[in-house]
Every structure is written in C-alpha cells, then in structure tokens.
Amino acid sequence: MKINAIQVKYALFIAIALIAYFLLLSVFGLSKYPAFSIFNGLIMAIGLYFCIRDYKRYKGKKYKYQKGFLAGLICGFLATLIFTAFFGVYASHFNPDFATEILSTWENEYSESLGLLLFVVAVMGFCTTLVLTLAYMQLMKDSWNTTPIKNQTRTS
C-alpha cells in the first residue's frame, strides 16, 4: 500500500501535538513523571480516529477493512517515529540530564541509557497505535447485518 497524504497529514498532526504536549510538560518540570504520558494516548487516539475516518471517506465504496487498518497503522507508526526522533534529540542535546532523571526511578539492575529510553518510547507508541487501530476498525468496518448482505447469503 502506498502511503497516502491523509496518513502523513495526521501523522504530522499527532507528532506535533505530542511534541507540543511534551514541551509544555517540560516547561513546568513535569516531563520526568511517566504518569503524564497517559495523555499521549489521548492525543494518539484523536489523531488515529480522524485519520481512519477521513481515509474511509476518501475511499468511499472502495473502502476495505484491511486498507483502513493499514492506514491507521502507518499513520501511528509515522507519528511514533517522528516523536521518538524528537525525543532522542531533546534528551541527548537540549536536556542531557533528562534521561538520567527519568531512568533514576527504574530498577538499578538495568542498563540506564538513552537507547533504552528511546526503545521504550517507540514500543509504547507502536503498541498504542496497534490497540487503538484495532478498536477503531470495529467502529469503521461495514456491518454484515444489512439487507443486501443478508439477501446475498440466503441465495448462496
């Protein structure tokens, strides 16, 4: 599947919103508390919903479940990659102590490095994308309980 302009538009919207939220938290000194990342899921949820909805409108009658699912995944994965890249630049260049601040609450038995933190951020984004896309596709799929489908299955 080709990457569509809709997916890129909403991926950029999600990434910019995540970056703005993170920077807002950092201004108030709250970015080191992982509990505030719950709102990252809300930002991702809003963006993915609109991406899948607009993709379905764009495709019209040609809309298929698999393509809508893939549109959501591509959008969320692109947004996650953009945010993770920003996070890496922020944590390595703009605030080098950030990684040690946030990782100091973890167990000391693990390697506390920026790479581990970036891995965790990326995995959280990918998992959020997968779960939200699966949930939204249940809302966006065509129902099999319509009259034309029922008539088609009776005659088969």
At CA 39, angle to CA 105 and CA 48, rounded to 5?
Answer: 130
Q: What is the pLDDT of residues 3-35, one digit of tens each?
A: 789 999 999 999 999 999 999 999 998 887 778
CA gap 87, 114 in Å, rounded: 10
> Which amino acid is present at 17?
A
**pLDDT over 90 at 43, yes or no:** yes
pLDDT given at position 71: 92
pLDDT given at position 151: 59
pTM of the model as a whole: 0.82
The full DSSP string for 52-120 is: HHHHHHHHGGG--HHHHHHHHHHHHHHHHHHHHHHHHHIIIII-TTHHHHHHTTS-TTS---HHHHHHH
List the one residue out of 73, 86, 76, 82 whose CA is nearest residue 43: 76
pLDDT given at position 144: 65
pLDDT given at position 64: 86
**pLDDT over 60 at 36, yes or no:** yes
pLDDT given at position 23: 94
- Assigned token pair, 41: 């899921």
pLDDT given at position 29: 85
Q: What is the pLDDT of residues 71-119, one digit of tens each?
A: 999 999 999 999 999 999 998 888 888 777 776 665 555 566 778 788 8
